[in-house]
Amino acid sequence: MQNLVGRDLLTLGDLTPDDLQAVLIRAKAQKLAHRNANKAPVATGKSAALIFMKPSLRTRVSFELACRDLGVHPIVMGPQDAFSRSETVHDTVKVLERYVQVIVLRTFAHSHIEEVAKHASVPVVNALTDDYHPCQVLADLLTIKEHKGSLAGIKMAYVGDGNNMTHSLMLGGALAGMHVTVATPVGYEPRADVVTRAQQIAATYGTGASITLHNDPREAVASCDVVVSDTWASMGQEAEHAQRVQAFSGYTVDPSLMERADSRAIFMHCLPAHRGEEVLDEVIDAPYSVVFDEAENRLHAQRAWLSLVL
């Protein structure tokens, strides 16, 4: 069994393939136990700071419930409360760690959470930054495993903006031995250093994964098992929305694109979805869409992570 006690989760690049398997196995076991109302609070008496510098529905609710299930007291804060009034990151963290045993943070610059982790003596969990969304991808990998039976060798095509989700899907796919194809317009590719990191992970651990970039979504999804999309304008990019809608014309996941995937392919989206932009109703509401399984699995993946690190 992997010993993850005290570990940070800033990006999935922090994990080994064995760490990832340990989290997914724990998540599935706790999910089944949860369904049988057989909850085991493992961290009674501990507290968690859940800090959201950006809006959240799924992440906030699922972390609060994960804490409740584990016997951990969640304290939710917004930008008014933490990192406000010119208080330094150092001072904020030193105060928080006198109260809580884990810090969960959603913020803008990834360097912000890196600074938090540098100062913190308690584990830090990335609840989304501009560059990564590891908790979502833990849930997504659990969802793919449930629907496809395994992860290694699965072909996943991501269509849209090369953003935080893309980066985490590439890193998670690399750890899990998946074939990840990313189709973006020119100029919206994922960061080259993250592509390199994912390829290094695949090579270092010999997972058999591949990472391929495309500009043509129709080529990217050909015969794939999983089609993924995400918003074209992430939180913090609202002012670019109109320009991005133009740039991403042709990148909508519609039924004709899904027809090019394997006939048993599933559709995934971390939500919130912008229906009529990156995905059409006919796809997100289709029987092959697993978007609400992904949302549910946020709870199970994050509860597993907290139970392993606390």
Nearest-CA neighbor of 49 among 111, 114, 89, 104?
104
168 binds ligand CP (CB under 6 A): no
Footprint of ligand NVA on 252-291 (CB under 6 A): 270
What does DSSP assign to residue 130?
A: S
Angle (nearest 5°) at CA 76 between 119 and 118:
10
How near is the Cβ of 81 to ligand CP at its closest, in Å? 18
Interface residue with ligand NVA, options 235, 247, 288, 296 (CB under 6 A): 235
- Catalytic site residue 119? no
Q: Which whole-number Å values give the CA distances from 306 to 124, 289, 294, in the listed order? A: 10, 28, 18
Partner whose binding site includes residue 57, from ligand NVA, ligand CP, none (CB under 5 to 8 Å by kind)? ligand CP
- Catalytic site residue 199? no
Q: Which whole-number Å values give the CA distances from 145 to 106, 133, 271, in the listed order? A: 26, 19, 19
Interface residue with ligand NVA, options 230, 277, 278, 294 (CB under 6 A): 230
Partner whose binding site includes residue 181, from ligand CP, ligand NVA, none (CB under 5 to 8 Å by kind)? none
For 68, the token pair is 């409740």
Lookup result for tokens 């869409």: 289
CB 178 within 8 A of CB 154: yes
Listed ranges 56-64, 65-73, 83-91, 285-293: which one lies at the site for ligand CP (CB under 6 A): 56-64
Q: Which is nearer to ligand NVA, 43 or 301 (CB)?
A: 301
Classified as helix, coil or strand, 269 is: strand
- Catalytic site residue 90? no
How near is the Cβ of 146 to ligand CP at its closest, in Å? 18
Task: Tell me which residues are annotated as active site.
Answer: 106, 133, 136, 230, 270, 298
